[in-house]
Amino acid sequence: MAARVVISGMGMVTPLGNDVASSWEALLQGRSGVGTVASFDPSQHDVRIAAEARDFDPLAYLDRKDMRRTERFIHFAAAAAQQAVADSGLEIAPIADEVGVVIGSGSGGLHALEDQFHVLFERGADRISPFFITQMVADMACGFVSMSMGARGPNFATVSACATGANAIGEAYETIKRGDAVAMIAGGTEAGITPMTLAAFASMHALSRRNDDPERASRPFDAERDGFVMGEGAGVVVLEELEHARARGATIYAEVLGYASTSDAHHITDPAPGGAGLARALRRALKKAELAPERVDYINAHGTSTKPNDRQETAAIKSVFGEHASKLAISSTKSMTGHLMGAAGGIEIVITALALRDGMLPPTINYEHPDPECDLDYVPNMARKRAIRVALSNSMGFGGHNAVVILGKPEE
């Protein structure tokens, strides 16, 4: 019989706070983490806003040497992973061979990449940092966490654009289910707010251009949405085999009931018509969880605030849930955090677990103008108190990636 898997620890670094408690409080208050870019001068850019993780101190989690030799996306991952393991109370050393790490990043070390381009062309090839490769490649977040924590089980990174974090947690769940680990440290991390990346997404016309009103720029499902807002941070959970967690008296936040991933095989950026790829992932995840659609109470939507994504995600939900779609509570917390891309699924699965724990649903802020094609209950503008038993998190990524993770309230 396959193992049952639970979440026993959680960690986050977000544009709303540098830990779970502060981020969750801000989400329930409906605060926006979006502002004018402060990490570099954006004055020459068409888009000058983003959701940055401000006041984050990597030295709270790494020594000075490790901080200099690693990159911002690794710093975020280390912080969120340390928070999650501390929260779980898991002692890794006695079971190190049975503890793995799956932490993905959509882009890896973009700060290092841009910096070393300048070094190459301004100072010469012999001045490139010997640490450049290990700062840049996406698997170094999970590699660093594994080494720093002594976790010797399965260790790999997922890279599936904005579905990365959800795929990481889903694949870690499957790793425990098939008996290859007792516990997994899993999630997503991203630090992609750089001059080149901001300009590139703006060139694609993917970003909101509400430079003069940044806190209202991310408006998922609203008729006047005009693009997403880049965000940064990390979301990491400790997944654990249920009986192992029970035996050591761990706090259990949620049980992972199901996971599925699919490909649109349609277009490099736009979702498939009718959200067909996401709909397949939803149906498959429900089938694997042995759940009727009517059992789901809440969806933390991908909800990027782009025209096609929100429209097709709504269509997918209607396709799968039928009449029950109108009874679902749905929120896009990207309205507050911005879009953390490879880290989005990580923080949103943490948020979904918190909603189950507290019976509080975070809002979709900036929902002011109903869209006839997005006509479901998006928990507009104010958090809602509602006891829920089953919730899921949707993730979709450029390249046609779809991932769905279903969580259930733990048994009493």
Whole-angstrom CA distances from 61 to 18, 185, 343 are 12, 16, 19
Contact 410, 253 (CB under 8 A): yes
Would you say how long the chain is, in residues? 412
- Angle (deg, nearest 10), helices 195-203 and 110-123: 110
Whether 339 sits among the annotated catalytic residues: the reply is yes
Query: Of these residues, 142, 302, 374, 401, which one is catalytic?
Result: 302
Of the candidates 75, 162, 244, 374, the residue annotated as catalytic is 162
Calpha distance 30→115 (Å, rounded): 35
Residues whose CB falls within 8 Å of the CB of residue 196, separated by 6 or more in sequence, listed in order: 110, 114
Where in 122-165 does DSSP place strands (E)?
155-156
Is 302 noted as a catalytic residue in this protein?
yes
**Active-site residue (options: 75, 111, 244, 339):** 339
Q: Which residue is listed with tokens 């790999």?
A: 156
3-state helix, strand, coil in the chain (%, to 5): 40, 20, 40
Compute the distance between CA of residue 99 and CA of residue 115 in angstroms, rounded to an integer.
35
* Active site annotation includes 142: no
Radius of gyration, alpha carbons of the chain: 20
* 42 in Cβ contact with 194 (< 8 Å): no
Compute CA distances 338 → 16, 172, 329, 383, whole Å.
10, 25, 20, 17
Residues 69 and 67: their CA atoms lie apart, in Å, by 6
- Residue type for position 233: G
Tokens read off for 389: 């038993």
How many whole angstroms from its chain centre is CA 115? 26
| DSSP calls for 154-195 | -EE---BTBTHHHHHHHHHHHHHHTTS-SEEEEEEEE----H
3-state class (DSSP) for residue 404: strand
Residue 34 CA to residue 217 CA, distance in Å, equals 8
Instruction: Report d(CA 193, CA 40) in Å as an integer.
Output: 9
Element (H, E) at 234: strand 233-241
What is the C-alpha to C-alpha distance for residues 260 and 395, in angstroms, rounded to an integer?
11
Residue positions annotated with a catalytic role: 162, 302, 339
